[in-house]
Amino acid sequence: MNAVQLISTGKCYNRHWAVRDVDLSLAPGERLALLGHNGAGKTTLLKLILGLTRPDEGEVKVFGEAPGQARRTIRTTIGFLPENVSFHDAMSGRETLRFYARLKKRSSKECAALLERVGLADAADRRVSTYSKGMRQRLGLAQALLGNPRLLLLDEPTTGLDPALRQAFYDILSDLAAQGTTVLLSSHLLTELEERTDRIAVMHQGRLLITGNLADLRRRAGLPVTLHLKIAAGKTSMVASALAGFAPETNGGDNLHLACAPADKMALLRQIGVLGTDILDVEINHPGLDAIYAHVTDAANAERTRP
């Protein structure tokens, strides 16, 4: 059974479709990153999965049930970290976490362990009003992890975290995914997601443009691979003419820049291999998530503005 199943789901607010025609399924233990600009529909999609709002079109299923009408016990197995999480300022971190733990019927021992895990053990008895943005975010993560959830929904989880904490955060996510927890996180910090999620879904104006792993996305976006060659002294023009089919550009020195479709990459590399010692070094750059994301959303915009 899929942890999450969306079937041509749509949600309309005041005649504006915040989410439309979304088909998406998440297997247990899968980590999916949801990408999109602000207002692309990411948060609405999370709210639909959480059962906070009902779809106007299609279906939403979480562990096989519609989340709005589901038994409340299903909610004890879901963890959620909202965007810009906020707490009651007058309560301490420990009291806050215990409050949420009681609602999920979890022990205060688990709270202490979680505070330790997110690095808040020392600040646990301070009021939340004295917490920094990063500390609130960590407290938010701690409450989302209460009761070892089978499904974890995280809305922009790493904003406000410094690089070391971000690393620790993704380590926690990897541990959870290894235990079979499904993780859906939304973000617009693209570079950090590249290696840390199994699948990426790009949302734009309420629609799901593309889903797949990074290699899939690269292939489907069809963005060129770029190569930088360092050529032995005096051989630049000779190499350039040998690789003329790939339209090499030179800066006049010993460097050549080439671009090719992903499918032609190996053919190009074989040709480079034939040139032997005339080529000193090769640097291959695959398009990053940033470039893919920009390409996919630009293409969608172009389609929309076409008459």
Partner 1 sequence: MNALLTIAGKEVKDGLRNRWAVTATLVLAGLALALAFLGSAPTGHVGVPPLAVTVVSLASLTVFLVPLIALILSYDALIGEVERGTMLLLLTYPVRRWQIVGGKFIGHTVVLGLATVVGYGVAGLAIAVTAPAGTAGNWLSFFVLIATSVALGTAFLALGYLVSSLVSEHATAAGLAVGLWLLLVLLFDMALLGLLAATEGRGLSPALFRWVLMLNPTDVFRLINLASFADVRTYSGMAGLPALAQIPVEALAGALVVWIGLPLVLTMAIFSRRPL
Would you say 50 or 292 has its CB closer to partner 1? 50
Tokens of 164: 């070391």
Neighbours of 131 (CB within 10 A): 20
Q: Residue 281 carries which side chain, given as an amino acid letter? A: D
Would you say 153 or 292 has its CB closer to partner 1? 153
| Backbone phi and psi for residue 24, each to the nearest 5 degrees, phi listed first | -155, 140
**Which residues of this protein are in contact with partner 1, per CB under 8 A?**
47, 50, 52-53, 72-73, 75-76, 78, 80, 82, 84-88, 90-91, 95, 99-100, 102-104, 143
Min CB(52)–partner 1 separation in Å = 5
Min CB(134)–partner 1 separation in Å = 17
Min CB(300)–partner 1 separation in Å = 28
Would you say 104 or 295 has its CB closer to partner 1? 104
Would you say 12 or 242 has its CB closer to partner 1? 12
Min CB(71)–partner 1 separation in Å = 9
End-to-end C-alpha distance for the chain, whole angstroms? 42
Min CB(184)–partner 1 separation in Å = 13
| Complete DSSP assignment for 10-30 | EEEETTEEEEEEEEEEE-TT-
CB 146 within 8 A of CB 75: no
Tokens of 166: 């971000």
Would you say 21 or 95 has its CB closer to partner 1? 95
Q: Residue 104 carries which side chain, given as an amino acid letter? A: K
